[in-house]
Amino acid sequence: MEPLVILVVLVLFGLWCLRGLWSGIPGSGLLSSLGSKLFDTAFNREKQSGAHFQKERETSEWLNARNRGLILDGAGQKRLSEETSFQHVAVISPTGAGKTTRYIAPNLLTLDDCSVIVTDPSGELYAKTSGAMASRGFAVEVLNLADPVRSLGYNPLSKLESHGDIDKLSHVLMRSANPVVKPGDEIWYSEPQNLMAILIRCLRNTGEPEWINLHNLLFLLQNFGRDGRPLIRFIARYAPDEATVQQFKGFVSGNDKMLSSFLTMGRNALRALNNPDIASLLARDELDFQRLRKRKTALYLVVPETEAEVYGFILNLFYIQFFAAQKSLEFTSDGLPIHVLYDEFGHSMIPGFDTVATTIRKYRVSLSIILQDFGQLRERYGDHAAKTILSGGMRTKLFYPGLDVETSRMVEEMLGRVQFETKQGRHKSVREENLLNADRVRRMEKDQAICVTASQEPVILKTTACYEESRMKKLMELPPCPFPAPLPSSELRFVSLT
C-alpha cells in the first residue's frame, strides 16, 4: 500500500478515536467538528435518498442519439423514442428563452419519414426552414393567414360529416372569440351558437359547393333582420329536417333586444371574414389531411402575431378537424406518423383537448404543445382540464429558464424532495430539502432545461440552439420555398334569399 494512503487512513482513524475526548475539552469544538466532517465525508456518513437528477448513464438508456423521436437538447444527442414521442411533450418557455431555436427548429430540421405540422406565429420558421425541408424530400405546404392570397385554401364547412360536427364547429367559433365565459353568461354564447348550427345545416343542404362556406354564414347573420323574416324562404327551402325549422322558429320568437345581442355576438365571432382575402381562403378546399399520411409533408400554419386573437378560430377549427380525421384507421395504420409542433398553444381553444391528448397517441400522432406558463393553460381550459392535460396527456415536460413564479413553484414540487440522514456516533438526524428550489428553477442558465418524463427521475439538459450546430446552420442558409402563386381575384358567391 502506498505510504500516503496509509497515512491518510491513520489520520482519519485517529480523528475518529479522539472525537469523543475532544468534545469534552474547552476550545476543542472546531477540531472535533473538522474531524467529524472529514470522517463523515470519507466514509459517507450522510446518506441521501428520495429525488435526484439522473446521471448520464441513467439518461442514456432512454434519451439518446439512436432514437428516432423528438429532440429535447437541440443538438440531437438527447432524443426520445418514437413511442415516447407519441405520448406527447409539453414545452413551457417564456418569450425569448429558446423554444424556437432549441426545440421547434431542431425538430423540424431533423425529423424524417413522417409529416410535420408546425404553428408559425411570425413566419420566421417558414423563412428559415422551408428550403431545408424541401431539400430533405418533404412536400412543403402553407396555410398563410399573413398573406392569404398566397396560401392553401381551407374550408372548415367542407369537412363536416354530422350534426355533431356542426355543433362542435359552432361552439368553437363562439368560444374562440370569447374564451372566458363567466357563470350566468352562457346564454349569450349558446344562443348565437345554436343559430349558427341551424344556418350551417341549411347551407350544407343547398348542394351548392360555392355556397357552403363561412362567408355565407356571415352573410346570413348580416341579413337576418330584426326578426329573421328575410331568411324565412331560405330556411323553408333548405332546412334538412323539420327539427331545424322548429329550432329556427324557436330562436326568432325571442325578445327583440336579446335577438339583436345574439346576432352581434355571432357576427363578431366571424369578423375576420370581413377581409375578402380571408373569406376566399376559407371558401376553398385544398387542405387534405389524408395526404399527410401518404407523403412526408411539412405543413406550416403561419399566423401574424398581432392577429392571433382574430384568426385564432381558424387554427382551432383546423386542429379539431385534423384530430377528428385521425380516427379513420384506413389511413393511419400503415401511413406516415405525424408530429405536431403547436407553438402558442396557450391561445388555443380546442374542446375536449384533455381527452384528445390521451387518445390521439394510438393513431401515431405526436403532440408538442408550447406554452409561456401554466397560467395560460388554466385560463383557457380551466384548472381541472389544465392539470389533466399537463399531468395525464403530456408524458414529457420540458421547462426552460425564466419561468414565472407560479410555474417555477410547480416545477419545484414536481421535482420532489431529498432526504438527508446523518449519523454522528449514536446520534442520527434527518433533514429534507427540495431537489431544486423555485428561485433556482427560474434562474437556470440560458442553455439549460429541466426534463420530467413520467415516473423517471428528472434530468437537467444542456441545450444547443440550432444556429450553434453546424449542420443545422447550413440547412437554414438555404433559400425558403416560394409561397403559392397569388390567386386571381374572383367574386365570392353569396346564397340566394329569394
DSSP letters of 290-326? Answer: THHHHS-EEEEEE--GGGHHHHHHHHHHHHHHHHHHT
CA atoms within 13 A on the CB side of 423: 7
Q: Is 184 exposed, middle or buried (0-12, 13-18, 19+ CB in 10 A)?
A: exposed
Q: What pLDDT was estimated at residue 91? A: 98
Establish if 449 belongs to a structural domain: yes
Give the residue numbers spanning the domain of 175. Answer: 156-278
Closest among 39, 79, 85, 83 to 60, alpha carbons compared: 79
Per-residue pLDDT, averaged over 179-193, amounts to: 78
Residue 491 has pLDDT above 80, yes or no: no
Establish if 286 belongs to a structural domain: no
Per-residue pLDDT, averaged over 94-110, amounts to: 95
Can you give the pTM of this predicted structure? Answer: 0.87
Q: What pLDDT was estimated at residue 389? A: 93
Establish if 19 belongs to a structural domain: yes
Instruction: Note whether 411 and 441 are within 8 A (CB).
Output: yes
- State the pLDDT confidence band at 17, using cuts at 50, 70 and 90: low
Let me know whether 417 and 371 are in one domain: yes
Residue 64 has pLDDT above 80, yes or no: yes
Report the Cα 247 to chain-centroid distance in Å: 37
Let me know whether 342 and 362 are in one domain: yes
| Cα end-to-end span (Å), the chain | 106
Let me know whether 142 and 190 are in one domain: no
Please state the domain count of the chain: 3
Let me know whether 62 and 134 are in one domain: yes
pLDDT digits (tens, 9 = 90+) for 312-358: 999 999 999 999 998 875 556 678 999 999 999 999 999 899 999 99
Long-range pairs of 309-312 with CB within 8 A, sequence gap ≥ 24:
309/347, 310/271, 310/272, 311/145, 311/272, 311/278, 312/176, 312/347, 312/348, 312/349
Helical H segments across 351-400, by residue range: 353-359, 374-381, 383-388
DSSP 393: I
Establish if 482 belongs to a structural domain: no
Let me know whether 164 and 69 are in one domain: no
Establish if 105 belongs to a structural domain: yes
Establish if 287 belongs to a structural domain: no
Establish if 343 belongs to a structural domain: yes
Establish if 381 belongs to a structural domain: yes
Q: What pLDDT was estimated at residue 38? A: 46
Give 423 or 370, the one with higher predicted confidence.
370
Let me know whether 249 and 304 are in one domain: no
pLDDT digits (tens, 9 = 90+) for 205-261: 999 999 999 999 999 999 999 999 999 999 999 999 999 999 999 999 988 889 999
Mark which of 278, 306, 339 sits at the end of a domain: 278
- Give percent of the chain with pLDDT exceeding 90: 72
Longest Cα pair distance anywhere in the chain, in angstroms?
109
Let me know whether 173 and 237 are in one domain: yes
Residues 6+ apart with CB under 8 A from 491: none
Q: What pLDDT was estimated at residue 272? A: 94
Residue 273 has pLDDT above 70, yes or no: yes
Residue 40 has pLDDT above 70, yes or no: no
Let me know whether 260 and 313 are in one domain: no
Q: Which residues of 327-359 are buried (b: 16+ CB within 10 A; e: fewer)?
A: eeeebbeebbbbbbbbbbbbbbbbeebbebbbe
DSSP annotation string for 160-199: --SHHHHHHHHHHHHHHH-----TT-THHHHHHHHHHHHH
Which of 17-26, 296-305, 342-351, 467-476 shows the lowest mean pLDDT across its residues? 17-26
Let me know whether 434 and 308 are in one domain: yes
| CATH number reported for the structural domain that contains residue 468 in this entry | 3.40.50.300
Let me know whether 328 and 422 are in one domain: yes
Mark which of 250, 278, 306 sits at the end of a domain: 278
Let me know whether 455 and 307 are in one domain: yes
pLDDT digits (tens, 9 = 90+) for 381-419: 989 999 999 988 999 999 999 999 999 999 999 999 999
pLDDT digits (tens, 9 = 90+) for 412-423: 999 999 998 887
Let me know whether 75 and 164 are in one domain: no
- State the pLDDT confidence band at 28, using cuts at 50, 70 and 90: very low
- Rounded Cα–Cα distance for residues 292 and 304 (Å): 24
- Rounded Cα–Cα distance for residues 193 and 228 (Å): 16
Backbone angles phi, psi at 371, to 5 degrees: -125, 160
Q: What pLDDT was estimated at residue 486? A: 84
Instruction: Note whether 347 and 301 are within 8 A (CB).
Output: no
Give me the amino acid identity at 278: I
- Rounded Cα–Cα distance for residues 121 and 130 (Å): 15
Per-residue pLDDT, averaged over 262-284, amounts to: 94
